[in-house]
């Protein structure tokens, strides 16, 4: 059911906004009028979406771009959420679309655009309202509404500079060089507030006046954070902090009073916006630490009266997807396309295979936009696992000279694709465009710690290919380096609840998952155990949807010596995924359970191949399929036409199989080898001519 308001304007084909076709659309017709008016379309969702879900609508302006010069677009497009319970409908939240995004939607040819916000309340209806823009009439196509988990992080394990009874031993403002005090530094007021138990209190760092004695605050953590944790501070400022402010900051970790690692400037520090004029500044570590230090290194007005709420060492999942899907393959052949083709002849991309190989740090493809005028150049990359709706999709780039900025983003487009399923589990031929984003209002641009840049957007549909598309003839984009494409389930926000990790009942020193063909070898080691009963190994294709037990191993009980355990996952290759996730559930004798961290295994199984001959064939030819030696089990061969209709199916009874009962007309067909469960093992294309 749809809710429609048509007192002003009208809506064509409203049912198309809620059908199963993502490419069909209702059209909101907003007439030209000097009077204020609007058209609304409300859509039901299939279920109630909880708080912290993205609520949005995919829309596109119909017709020519509008001349919006001098016009205000405040409240031109509004998205609302509702909660319907029985006959009662309650307005939950309202989000006026940013004027820059509204300008892109109505005043440019950006294509389909996602207008959305992260909801703070549960909802099961989404409404979009399009208002009149003075004397300009327009149509707005509405393709579908969506609710997708935003992966908002509310709680995490970590260590904070918080103490029940803070003392001078839990902080320091001294400037140290090689553990020797250089100066006492008096530019920090209320330093105890950065180490007390109230995380809303803060110390204040006044602006730098003497570079030989920089403003410095070092805080003790409530425990020792392990290597790999993110180290940093939650800061506040009366003015807007952006990446330029990072040029005046350095964060350093310490262990036992000895400096361990430092991050300084935008190339090494990450800046996260938390709201309420709060930010987190941090970097990923490679060594354990028990103190963190922040220091002003330059005179910057944005750093005047900088508020320091607390220091932290927090688990890395708060900041990034620990298992992203990348265009990373041992053999890149067949895993990239240039301008929609597997063959790159006299094209504007050199070494395209480098963006799909397994070296994501050093190798790159190069796009030469200066070699052509007009049109675009595209490099499409297959991912090593499926990207899910809600993932961030993008590519890591480098420019031949300088940095990509927001002005150039109007010449950069990121596209996602899926298509006909291929032989590898979860992969397709990438022939179907799913979503696109172009321009600074739709694309996110981030400077990475190593100086490369990331261009990306938030998706709303599943995909397994990512494409970077650049406008030809733009000199500043010439020699753009493409390192790899990616899909990530990127976290949002910062945890309001940080808890000290509870140690495992056993001291687990390692847990590994090593793929070997279609199986995964799991191994773990403990240093000590106390009253341990058994270990359960659990597996998941998507951790967000839960884990299942695949095996159990008895534990040593109580031990002070090294214990080693192992388990084989023989069915890993049948799960239909290239990446599998594992965790240990350690169970004590009293029934207490504790989980380990999650580890991942990327399967790199050799694809099964078979031959159909003759190929091409005529309608009168007798066709045979030559199959490889298959694992024990039942298999069948099916023939499909290009519309996906089943033409024939027969059981596999021998290695060379005659395809019987075929009456094939001229055209293209897919011959599919599948197991007893229907899982595709391999496919082969068949061409039938009319002769």
Domain of 622: which CATH number? 2.60.40.1930
Q: Does pLDDT of 445 surpass 50? A: yes
**How does pLDDT run across 456-473, given as a tens digit for each residue?**
999 999 999 999 999 988
Average pLDDT over residues 26-42: 88
Tokens of 269: 């520090």
Lowest mean pLDDT among 160-164, 332-336, 500-504, 543-547: 500-504
Reference 150, options 324, 388, 326, 391; nearest CA is 391
**What's the CA gap between 622 and 610, in Å, rounded?**
17
Pairing, β 2-5 against β 38-49: antiparallel
Residue 255 binned pLDDT confidence (cut-offs 50, 70, 90)? very high
Q: Which residue has the higher pLDDT, 596 or 165?
A: 165
- Is residue 487 a part of any domain in this protein? no
Average pLDDT over residues 514-523: 84
Same structural domain for residues 288 and 162?
yes
Radius of gyration (Cα) for the chain, nearest Å? Answer: 29
ω into 62 cis (within 30 of 0): no
Same structural domain for residues 292 and 309?
yes
Residue indicated by tokens 């599948």: 674
Residue 146 binned pLDDT confidence (cut-offs 50, 70, 90)? very high
- Is residue 324 a part of any domain in this protein? no
Q: Does pLDDT of 197 surpass 90? A: yes
Residue 179 binned pLDDT confidence (cut-offs 50, 70, 90)? low
- Angle formed at CA 229 by CA 224 and CA 231, multiple of 5 degrees: 85
- Is residue 377 a part of any domain in this protein? yes
For 486, counting Cβ atoms within 10 Å of its Cβ (0-12 exposed, 13-18 middle, 19+ buried), the class is: buried
- CB hemisphere CA count around 130 (13 angstroms): 32
Q: Does pLDDT of 506 surpass 70? A: yes
pLDDT at 423: 66
User: Percent of the chain beyond pLDDT 70?
Assistant: 92
Using an 8 Å Cβ cutoff, are 173 and 184 in contact? yes
Q: Does pLDDT of 527 surpass 90? A: no
- Is residue 333 a part of any domain in this protein? no
Q: Does pLDDT of 504 surpass 80? A: no
Using an 8 Å Cβ cutoff, are 405 and 393 in contact? no
Contacts 24+ apart (CB under 8 A), 617-621: 617/664, 617/686, 617/687, 617/688, 617/689, 618/688, 618/689, 618/690, 618/691, 619/663, 619/664, 619/665, 619/666, 619/688, 619/690
Average pLDDT over residues 175-204: 86
Reference 390, options 580, 118, 122; nearest CA is 118
Q: Does pLDDT of 87 surpass 70? A: yes
User: Residue 102 is inside which H or E element, if any?
Assistant: helix 99-107
pLDDT at 460: 96
Reference 600, options 352, 301, 385; nearest CA is 385
Same structural domain for residues 398 and 470?
yes
Pairing, β 497-499 against β 155-160: parallel
- Mean of all residue pLDDT scores within the chain: 88
Highest-confidence segment of 65-79, 648-662, 671-685: 65-79
Same structural domain for residues 438 and 380?
yes
Same structural domain for residues 118 and 199?
no
Same structural domain for residues 644 and 580?
no
Tokens of 265: 């400037």
**What's the CA gap between 333 and 342, in Å, rounded?**
9
Cα dihedral across residues 569, 570, 576, 579: positive or negative: positive
Q: Does pLDDT of 23 surpass 90? A: yes
Find residue 415's DSSP bridge partners.
436, 467
pLDDT at 508: 84
Domain end among 572, 602, 632:
602
CATH classification of the domain holding 412: 2.60.120
CATH classification of the domain holding 561: 2.60.40.10
Largest CA distance in the chain: 93
- Is residue 338 a part of any domain in this protein? no
**What's the CA gap between 298 and 281, in Å, rounded?**
16
Tokens of 518: 């279609």
DSSP per position, 358-424: S-TTT--EEE-GGG-SSSEEEEEEEEEEEE-TT-EEEEEEE-SSS---GGGGGGEEEEEEE-SB-SS
Contacts 24+ apart (CB under 8 A), 88-92: 89/125, 92/119, 92/121, 92/122, 92/123
- Is residue 334 a part of any domain in this protein? no
Using an 8 Å Cβ cutoff, are 13 and 28 in contact? no
**What's the CA gap between 96 and 75, in Å, rounded?**
5
User: Residue 310 is inside which H or E element, if any?
Assistant: strand 306-314
Main-chain phi, psi angles of 352, to 5 degrees: -60, -30
pLDDT at 32: 84
Beta strands in 543-679 (DSSP E): 548-554, 563-569, 579-588, 593-595, 599-602, 611-613, 617-618, 624-626, 635-641, 646-651, 656-658, 667-675
For 110, counting Cβ atoms within 10 Å of its Cβ (0-12 exposed, 13-18 middle, 19+ buried), the class is: buried
Same structural domain for residues 16 and 145?
yes
**What's the CA gap between 434 and 417, in Å, rounded?**
5
Q: Does pLDDT of 430 surpass 90? A: yes
Using an 8 Å Cβ cutoff, are 167 and 196 in contact? no
Q: Which residue has the higher pLDDT, 407 or 642?
A: 407
Q: Which residue has the higher pLDDT, 499 or 674?
A: 499
Same structural domain for residues 393 and 289?
no
pLDDT at 1: 44
Q: Which residues of 211-249 are buried (b: 16+ CB within 10 A; e: fewer)?
A: eebbbbbbbbbbeebeeebbbbbbbbbeeebeeebbbbb
**What's the CA gap between 10 and 646, in Å, rounded?**
43
pLDDT at 679: 63
pLDDT at 677: 62
**Where in the sequence is the domain holding 198, given as residue range(s)?**
155-318
Residue 213 binned pLDDT confidence (cut-offs 50, 70, 90)? confident
Using an 8 Å Cβ cutoff, are 36 and 62 in contact? no
Tokens of 565: 């355990």
Q: Mapping DSSP to helix (H, G, I), strand (E, B) and coil, where does residue 183 land?
A: strand
Average pLDDT over residues 536-543: 90
Predicted model pTM: 0.69
pLDDT at 661: 61
Same structural domain for residues 116 and 162?
no
**How does pLDDT run across 582-636, given as a tens digit for each residue?**
999 999 988 888 888 888 887 765 566 788 999 888 878 888 999 887 766 778 8
Tokens of 614: 């003759």
CATH classification of the domain holding 124: 2.60.120.260
Domain end among 546, 567, 602:
602
- Is residue 342 a part of any domain in this protein? no
Same structural domain for residues 654 and 561?
no
Domain end among 130, 149, 168:
149
For 365, counting Cβ atoms within 10 Å of its Cβ (0-12 exposed, 13-18 middle, 19+ buried), the class is: buried
ω into 616 cis (within 30 of 0): yes
Lowest mean pLDDT among 121-125, 424-428, 518-522: 424-428
Average pLDDT over residues 560-568: 91
**How does pLDDT run across 362-397, given as a tens digit for each residue?**
999 999 887 667 789 999 999 999 999 999 999 999
Tally of domains in the chain: 5
Residue 340 binned pLDDT confidence (cut-offs 50, 70, 90)? low
Q: Does pLDDT of 94 surpass 70? A: yes
**Residue 247: DSSP 8-state:** G
Q: Does pLDDT of 208 surpass 50? A: yes
Q: Mapping DSSP to helix (H, G, I), strand (E, B) and coil, where does residue 496 land?
A: coil
Same structural domain for residues 597 and 643?
no
Pairing, β 432-438 against β 412-418: antiparallel
- Is residue 57 a part of any domain in this protein? yes
Using an 8 Å Cβ cutoff, are 326 and 335 in contact? no
Average pLDDT over residues 419-435: 84
User: Percent of the chain beyond pLDDT 90?
Assistant: 52
Residue indicated by tokens 């004027």: 99
**What's the CA gap between 234 and 200, in Å, rounded?**
10
Cα dihedral across residues 411, 417, 422, 425: positive or negative: positive
Same structural domain for residues 161 and 108?
no
């Amino acid at each position: 059911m749809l809710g429609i308001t048509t007192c002003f304007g009208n809506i064509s084909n409203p049912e198309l906004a809620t059908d199963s076709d993502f490419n069909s659309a209702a059209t909101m017709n907003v007439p030209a009028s000097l009077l204020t008016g609007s058209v609304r379309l409300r859509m039901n969702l299939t279920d109630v979406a909880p708080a912290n879900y993205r609520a949005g609508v995919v829309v596109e302006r119909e017709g020519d771009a509008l001349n919006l010069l001098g016009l205000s677009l405040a409240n031109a497009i509004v998205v609302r959420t509702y909660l319907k319970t029985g006959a009662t409908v309650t307005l939950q939240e309202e989000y006026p679309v940013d004027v820059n995004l509204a300008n892109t939607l109505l005043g440019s040819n950006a294509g389909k655009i996602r207008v959305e916000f992260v909801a703070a309340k549960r909802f099961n209806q989404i409404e979009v309202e399009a208002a009149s823009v003075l004397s300009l009439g327009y149509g707005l196509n509405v393709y579908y509404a969506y609710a997708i988990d935003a992966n908002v992080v509310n709680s995490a394990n970590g260590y904070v500079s918080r103490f029940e009874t803070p003392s001078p031993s839990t902080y320091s403002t001294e400037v140290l060089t090689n553990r020797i005090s250089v100066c006492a530094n008096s530019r920090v007021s209320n330093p105890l507030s950065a180490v007390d138990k109230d995380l809303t209190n803060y110390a204040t760092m006044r602006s730098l006046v003497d570079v030989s004695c920089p403003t410095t605050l070092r805080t003790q953590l409530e425990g020792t954070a392990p290597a790999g944790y993110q180290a940093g501070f939650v800061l506040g400022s009366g003015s807007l902090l952006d990446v330029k402010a990072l040029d005046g900051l350095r964060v350093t970790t310490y262990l036992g009073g000895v400096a361990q690692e430092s991050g300084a400037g935008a190339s090494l520090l990450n800046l996260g916006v938390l709201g309420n004029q709060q930010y987190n500044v941090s970097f990923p570590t490679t060594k354990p630490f028990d103190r963190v230090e922040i220091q002003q290194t330059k005179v910057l007005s944005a750093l005047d009266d900088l508020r320091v709420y607390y220091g932290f060492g927090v688990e890395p999942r708060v900041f990034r997807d620990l298992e992203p899907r990348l265009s990373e393959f041992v053999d890149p052949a067949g895993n990239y396309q240039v301008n929609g083709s597997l063959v790159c002849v006299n094209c504007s991309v050199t070494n395209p295979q480098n963006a799909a190989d397994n070296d994501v740090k050093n190798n790159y493809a190069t796009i030469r936009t200066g070699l052509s005028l007009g049109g675009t150049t595209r490099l499409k990359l297959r991912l090593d696992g499926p990207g899910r709706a809600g993932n961030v999709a993008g590519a890591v780039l480098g420019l031949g000279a300088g940095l990509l900025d927001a002005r150039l983003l109007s010449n950069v487009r990121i596209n996602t694709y899926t298509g006909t399923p291929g032989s590898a589990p979860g992969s397709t031929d990438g022939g179907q465009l799913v979503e696109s984003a172009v321009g600074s209002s739709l694309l996110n641009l981030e400077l990475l710690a190593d100086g490369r840049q990331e261009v990306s957007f938030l998706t709303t549909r599943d995909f397994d290919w990512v494409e970077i598309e650049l406008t030809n003839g733009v000199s500043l984009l010439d020699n753009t380096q493409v390192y790899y494409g990616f899909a990530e389930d990127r976290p949002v926000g910062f945890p309001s609840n940080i808890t000290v990790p509870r140690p495992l009942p056993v001291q687990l020193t390692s847990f590994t998952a090593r793929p070997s063909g279609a199986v995964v070898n799991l191994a773990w080691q403990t240093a000590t155990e106390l009253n341990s009963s058994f270990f359960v190994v659990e597996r998941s294709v998507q951790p967000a949807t839960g884990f299942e037990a695949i095996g159990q191993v008895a534990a040593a009980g109580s031990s002070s010596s090294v214990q080693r355990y192992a388990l084989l996952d023989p069915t890993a290759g049948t799960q239909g995924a290239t990446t599998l996730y594992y965790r240990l559930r350690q169970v004590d004798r009293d029934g207490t359970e504790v989980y380990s961290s999650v580890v991942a295994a990327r399967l790199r199984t050799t694809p099964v191949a078979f031959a159909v001959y003759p190929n091409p064939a005529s309608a009168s030819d007798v066709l045979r399929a030559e199959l490889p030696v298959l694992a024990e089990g039942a298999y069948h061969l099916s023939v499909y036409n290009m519309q996906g209709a089943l033409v024939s199916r027969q059981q596999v009874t021998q290695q060379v199989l005659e395809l019987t009962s075929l009456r094939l007309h001229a055209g293209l067909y897919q011959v599919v080898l599948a197991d007893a469960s229907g899982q595709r093992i391999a496919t082969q294309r068949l061409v039938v001519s009319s002769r």
